[in-house]
Amino acid sequence: MSVFKYFGSSNSSNPLQSDCTLSVTDLINMFKKAKLLEDDRITMVDFISVIEKYHSNGSNLKLTEKLSEAQFKAYLKANPKLLPINAEVQAYKDYRAKVAEYEKDGKPITDIHVVKDIPEEERKHREDKETAEAHKDWHDSILSQHIMFAKGAEIIFSEFKEIIVEIAIKLKDKVDPTTGKKTVIVQKFVEDWFLRRLNSFVKF
C-alpha cells in the first residue's frame, strides 16, 4: 500500500480514512521508474490494454482495436499520398493514358514529358518500406493520443492489485520460467522485479 500512496493522491480529508487513488499518469510513472515499461518486458500497448480493463477510455474502441491491421488499412486507403510510391505509380499511369490519347488523335507524343515505369521489384521494395514507415508513425500517433486521453482516469487500490497480477503473469517466462504457480510468479514479481526497483523512491 505504501508504494500506491507514494505515487497516488488522496481525496480524503480524514486522516483515519484511506481514499487514495492512482491516475493512469501515476501508474505509468511508477512502472517507468521500475524500468518495466520497455519493449523486452512490457510494451506500452500491452500495459494500457491491461489498465483499460479497469476504466472507460471515453470511446467505443480499446487501444488494441484502434491499432488493428484493419484500422491501419482504412487509414492508408483514406490517405494514399502517405506513400510517395503511390504518386509515382499514378504519374506513370497518367503518362500512359496521355500517350494513348495523343496516339488516338494523331498528335506527336514527343510533346509529352516522359515518365518512366518503376520495375516491379523496386516498386514492391519501396511500397513495403514506405508502408512500414507510415505504420510506425501512425502507431505512435494513435498510442500518444490514446494515452493523453486516458491519463486522467483513476485506479483504486483493488484495481491496482489486479493490474500487478496481470503484469506478473504476462512476464512469467522472465520472472520464473521454472514454475507455473501463479502465487509464486506474482510474489517473485512483486518482491524482485517491482518493489526492489522502487526502493530508491519509496521506503518499505
Q: What is the pLDDT of residues 15-49, one digit of tens each?
A: 333 457 888 888 888 888 888 888 778 899 999 98
**pLDDT at site 124:** 97
With 90 as the cut, is the pLDDT of residue 128 above it?
A: yes
Mean pLDDT in residue range 58-69? 83
With 50 as the cut, is the pLDDT of residue 1 above it?
A: no
Is residue 166 within 8 Å of residue 36, measured between CB atoms?
no
This prediction has a pTM of 0.75
54-58, 69-73, 152-156, 193-197: range with lowest mean pLDDT:
54-58
**pLDDT at site 68:** 95
Distance, in Å, from the CA atom of 3 to the CA atom of 204, rounded to the nearest integer, reads 8
**pLDDT at site 15:** 36
With 60 as the cut, is the pLDDT of residue 2 above it?
A: no
Is residue 23 within 8 Å of residue 151, measured between CB atoms?
yes
Domains of the chain (ranges; CATH) run 2-55+153-198 (1.10.238), 61-151 (no CATH)
**Assigned C-alpha cell, 199:** 526502493
Is residue 175 within 8 Å of residue 43, measured between CB atoms?
no
Q: What is the average pLDDT score of the chain?
A: 84
* Closest of 189, 167, 164 to residue 179, by C-alpha: 189
With 80 as the cut, is the pLDDT of residue 87 above it?
A: yes
With 60 as the cut, is the pLDDT of residue 96 above it?
A: yes
Is residue 189 within 8 Å of residue 59, measured between CB atoms?
no
Q: Which band of pLDDT confidence, cut at 50, 70 and 90, is reported for residue 94?
A: very high
